[in-house]
Amino acid sequence: MTESDRRLLVENTAEMRELKGQLREFKEHVMGRVEKLEKKEAERNKEQLSVVSVFISLAALAVSIIVNFFKHRG
């Protein structure tokens, strides 16, 4: 192996280490964004479930009022 080959090998190794570090940073950044999006999605799902629960409760209340109205009417 010539001196030129060794120098090239050292440069390539250093560049690969630098790229590996950049890739690790990018991966951490992406995973952080994914976690934030997952939290937002979970929050949205909770809100939707809350709205559905309110509608179900209102429907049950309406049915109860109607049933009581017909029971006590006659």
Which residue has tokens 């509608």? 55
Give the model's pLDDT for residue 74. 63
Alpha carbon 69 to chain centroid, angstroms: 47
Which residue has tokens 């937002």? 40
Q: What is the pLDDT of residues 23-48, one digit of tens each?
A: 999 999 999 999 999 999 999 999 99
Torsion of CA 18, 22, 25, 27, to 10 degrees: -120
Residue 1 has pLDDT above 90, yes or no: no
* Cα(74)–Cα(68) distance, integer angstroms: 11
* Cα(32)–Cα(26) distance, integer angstroms: 10
Number of domains comprising the chain: 1
The parent domain of residue 50 ranges over: 1-74
* Cα(44)–Cα(40) distance, integer angstroms: 6
Could you tell me the pLDDT band of residue 3, with boundaries at 50, 70 and 90?
Answer: very high
